[in-house]
């Protein structure tokens, strides 16, 4: 029986699912040895660094990913940069194939005038700040009283909820001290979320919408003019349970408005297409939107009616975008690695968001990984023939370069340290932020 030595670059859900599915696959007639590399000193990718810290269900996903890595049949190498610490040529020397599962961490562009004014931000940048991503800023300018969030997906709702929520409620989560202090100093009173289409076309999931509309100490406000439905909308409501739940949630807010007089308000606007960010002295002063209307086919068109909403900050949550990797083809328009069912080139594969673009939930990532793994197994004849396939040779390469990689045993130390930091404050965990701190604990 032959053996597959496989490298996976990216230790988020896409990479971990691919490894797990390959190990469990009944299609293979060979042994496998899998090494999982990640740029960060922590595993779990966007589940740790891309989701708001007050999402309890994320803990369940992390638990499932933890159990896969803790079995001992997949090696984890954190704090290893592909293209610098290990190259594609070197992967060919040590492995039969590589799967890229590097996801997407940058913001997609929104090409409207004024989007580059001071006070205009990408939502992904803000998420990286509040999730304590080691490679992003430690401070954030939270000085706006009125904020606009552009987008009608879960990230838009996460950003709006974190901005509007009373900071002391975030202390139940794993946010580090710098994020809590930043949120605590925020003078925000109103957060406006703008979507181009109507209540029946939103991209939220019901759980996210429910969380956003029931924040303690925050009134959630909707507007009568935004409740328009055409035949395509009614069909979506009748045929899709998720759409029906979300429309019902929004209609309930319309029928029984939240007007407790809370000091903070979350406004949900529909049929509002961003046209321009208006500035004053180089800083954001307002968001100009065009009212839209349903076109009868599930889409919308402009009405020619424009409105200006005074705001001091704008967050665009219009999607994530993948990053180019050294020596790998890249579609700069879509932000993905061009592929056919996960196949990129002989021995090179892709899965997750870098394969299909930043769409879909965790469940899509599993079926996506299954397609890639099935094709990889079927491509046995085109695998690379490594000259140094032993498991030790990769460790020797990284050590010869002085790479401070974090293995699974070291991650368990870091994990336990974060939990102990939390226990000292009566919390479940407190995240480490700086790479040096990760490495210090890993070596302790």
Q: For position 116, which CATH number holds? A: 3.50.50.60
Integer Cα distance of 9 and 325 in angstroms: 11
Residues 83 and 118 in one domain: no
Integer Cα distance of 308 and 323 in angstroms: 34
- Spell out a b/e string for 361-387, using b for 16 or more CB atoms within 10 Å of the CB, else e: ebeebbebbbbbbbebbeeeeebbebe
**69-73, 78-82, 298-302, 440-444: the lowest-pLDDT one:** 298-302
Domain contains 412: no
**152-156, 313-317, 409-413: the lowest-pLDDT one:** 152-156
**31-40, 115-124, 262-271, 420-429: the lowest-pLDDT one:** 420-429
Q: Which of 281, 300, 320 is the last residue of a domain?
A: 320
Check whether 145 has a pLDDT greater than 60. yes
Q: Which domain holds residue 326?
A: 3-105+322-406
Longest dimension (CA), the chain: 70
Integer Cα distance of 48 and 69 in angstroms: 15
Q: Are strands 300-310 and 283-294 parallel, antiparallel or unpaired?
A: antiparallel
- Answer whether 175's CB lies under 8 Å from 127's CB: no
**Mean pLDDT taken over the chain:** 94
pLDDT digits (tens, 9 = 90+) for 188-247: 999 999 999 999 999 888 888 998 999 999 999 999 999 999 999 999 999 999 999 999
Check whether 86 has a pLDDT greater than 90. yes
Domain contains 415: no
Domain contains 413: no
Check whether 360 has a pLDDT greater than 90. no
Nearest by Cα to 35 from 10, 67, 15, 6: 6
* Six token digits for residue 256: 């029984």
Residues 339 and 215 in one domain: no
Q: Which of 297, 320, 343 is the last residue of a domain?
A: 320
Domain contains 194: yes
329-337's contacts with Cβ under 8 Å and 24+ in sequence apart are 335/104, 335/106, 335/108, 337/100
Integer Cα distance of 113 and 110 in angstroms: 9
Domain contains 112: yes
pLDDT band at 438 (very low <50, low <70, confident <90, very high): very high
Residues 137 and 246 in one domain: yes
State residue 59's pLDDT score: 74
Averaged over 375-398, what is the pLDDT?
96
Give percent above pLDDT 70 in the chain.
Answer: 99
Averaged over 280-290, what is the pLDDT?
97
Residues 143 and 167 in one domain: yes
Residues 333 and 282 in one domain: no
Residues 44 and 152 in one domain: no
Averaged over 127-131, what is the pLDDT?
95
Domain contains 424: no
Check whether 2 has a pLDDT greater than 90. no
Integer Cα distance of 43 and 36 in angstroms: 9
Residues 197 and 143 in one domain: yes
Check whether 347 has a pLDDT greater than 60. yes
Domain total for the chain?
2
Check whether 299 has a pLDDT greater than 70. yes
Domain contains 444: no
State residue 252's pLDDT score: 94
Integer Cα distance of 331 and 13 in angstroms: 22
- Answer whether 176's CB lies under 8 Å from 431's CB: yes
Residues 261 and 277 in one domain: yes
Check whether 54 has a pLDDT greater than 90. no
Residues 219 and 355 in one domain: no
In this structure, the chain runs to a length of 444
- Backbone φ and ψ for 388, nearest 5 degrees, come out as -135, 70
Averaged over 71-80, what is the pLDDT?
97
* Six token digits for residue 107: 């913001």
Residues 172 and 97 in one domain: no
CATH of the domain at 21: 3.40.50.720
State residue 115's pLDDT score: 97
* Six token digits for residue 158: 């996460």
Residues 137 and 252 in one domain: yes
User: Higher-confidence residue: 105 or 159?
Assistant: 159
Averaged over 390-414, what is the pLDDT?
97
Residues 239 and 97 in one domain: no
Q: What is the pTM of this model?
A: 0.93
State residue 1's pLDDT score: 43
Averaged over 161-166, what is the pLDDT?
96
- Answer whether 178's CB lies under 8 Å from 138's CB: yes
Domain contains 420: no
């Amino acid at each position: 029986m032959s053996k597959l030595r496989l490298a996976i670059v990216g230790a988020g859900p896409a990479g971990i699912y691919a490894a797990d599915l390959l190990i469990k696959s009944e299609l293979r007639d060979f042994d496998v040895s899998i090494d999982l590399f990640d740029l960060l000193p922590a595993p779990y990718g966007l589940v740790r660094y891309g989701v708001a810290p007050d999402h309890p269900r994320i803990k369940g996903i992390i638990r499932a990913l933890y159990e896969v890595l803790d079995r001992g049949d997949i090696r984890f190498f954190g704090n290893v940069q592909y293209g610098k610490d290990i190259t594609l040529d070197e992967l060919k020397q040590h492995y039969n194939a590589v799967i890229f599962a590097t996801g997407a961490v940058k913001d997609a562009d929104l090409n409207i005038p004024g989007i580059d004014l001071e006070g205009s931000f990408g939502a992904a940048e803000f998420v990286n700040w509040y999730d304590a991503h080691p490679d992003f800023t430690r401070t954030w300018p939270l000085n706006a009283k009125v904020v606009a969030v552009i987008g009608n997906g879960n990230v838009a709702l996460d950003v709006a909820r974190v901005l509007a929520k009373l900071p002391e409620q975030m202390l139940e989560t794993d946010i580090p001290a710098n994020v809590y202090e930043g949120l605590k100093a925020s003078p925000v009173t109103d957060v406006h979320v703008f979507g181009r289409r109507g209540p029946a076309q939103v991209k939220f999931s019901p759980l996210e919408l429910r969380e956003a509309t029931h924040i303690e100490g925050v009134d959630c406000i909707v507007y009568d003019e935004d409740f328009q439905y055409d035949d395509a909308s009614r069909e979506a409501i009748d045929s899709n349970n998720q759409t029906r739940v979300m429309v019902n949630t929004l209609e309930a807010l319309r029928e029984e408005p939240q007007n407790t007089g809370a000091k903070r308000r979350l406004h949900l606007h529909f049929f509002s297409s961003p046209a321009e960010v208006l500035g004053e002295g180089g800083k954001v002063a307002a968001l100009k939107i065009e009212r839209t209307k349903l076109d009868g086919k599930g889409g919308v068109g402009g009405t020619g009616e424009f409105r200006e909403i005074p705001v001091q900050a704008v967050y665009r949550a219009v999607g994530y975008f993948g990053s180019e990797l050294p020596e790998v083809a890249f579609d700069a328009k879509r932000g993905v690695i061009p592929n056919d069912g996960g196949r990129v080139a002989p021995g090179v594969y892709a899965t997750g968001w870098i394969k299909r673009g930043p769409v879909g939930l965790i469940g899509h990532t599993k079926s996506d990984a299954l397609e890639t793994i099935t094709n990889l197994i079927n491509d046995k004849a085109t695998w690379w023939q490594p000259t140094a396939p032993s498991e030790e040779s990769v460790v020797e390469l990284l050590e010869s370069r002085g790479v401070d990689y974090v293995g699974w045993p070291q991650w368990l130390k870091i994990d336990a340290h974060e939990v102990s930091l939390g226990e000292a404050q009566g919390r479940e965990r407190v995240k480490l932020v700086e790479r040096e701190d990760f490495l210090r604990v890993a070596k302790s």
